[in-house]
């Protein structure tokens, strides 16, 4: 996404997320600043984290992440967004072998799960822009 990113990360060590995100964001900032010969911070605010408490919540989270580029009008279908893991989800059975908490074991089943909500999520994004904050 041009203005933000989404990561679904499974934390295996207690209190590891902050350190991990600090390393990711600092490394990217150094790379970006060096490449463009600039100085200063890139990130406007601290990262936000949401604890996923169930496999069902995780499944819906992955769908939201994979549909985000289509909802924002950047691409027509999620397969066309090159900075996503969606292609792995719909083309590689190993994803589901490694993520049994998703409750889906077939790439085609996941593809239908995502496509089923594509128009709905796009409409929600449009409505969100219509509301005043």
Residue 88 contacts residue 98 (beta carbons within 8 Å): no
Domain identity same for 78 and 25: no
* Cα 96 to Cα 31, 61, 121, distances in angstroms: 33, 15, 23
Q: How confident is the prediction for the chain on average, in pLDDT? A: 88
Domain boundary among 32, 49, 66: 49
Judged against a pLDDT cut of 90, whether residue 16 lies above it is answered with no
Domain identity same for 90 and 110: yes
Domain identity same for 103 and 61: yes
Helix, strand, coil shares, percent, the chain, to 5:
55, 0, 45
Confidence of residue 130 (pLDDT cuts 50, 70, 90): low
Q: Quick one: pLDDT at residue 129?
A: 66
Range of the domain at 25: 1-49
Domain identity same for 5 and 67: no
Domain identity same for 41 and 64: no
Domain identity same for 32 and 76: no
Domain identity same for 24 and 10: yes
* Cα 16 to Cα 12, 21, 97, 106, 109, distances in angstroms: 8, 9, 24, 31, 33
Burial code (b: 16+ CB inside 10 Å, e: under 16) for 89-104 equals: bbeeeebbeebeebeb
Domain identity same for 41 and 63: no
Q: How many domains does the chain have?
A: 2
């Amino acid at each position: 996404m041009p203005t933000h990113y989404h990561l679904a990360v499974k934390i295996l060590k207690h209190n590891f997320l902050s350190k991990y995100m600090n390393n990711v964001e600092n490394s990217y900032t150094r790379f970006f600043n060096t490449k463009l010969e600039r100085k200063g911070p890139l990130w406007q605010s601290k990262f936000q984290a949401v604890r996923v408490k169930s496999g069902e919540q995780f499944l819906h989270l992955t769908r939201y992440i994979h549909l985000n580029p289509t909802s924002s009008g950047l691409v027509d279908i999620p397969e066309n967004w090159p900075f996503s893991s969606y292609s792995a989800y719909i083309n590689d059975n190993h994803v589901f072998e490694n993520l049994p908490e998703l409750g889906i074991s077939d790439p085609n089943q996941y593809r239908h799960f995502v496509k089923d909500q594509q128009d709905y999520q796009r409409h929600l994004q449009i409505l969100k822009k219509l509301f005043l904050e």
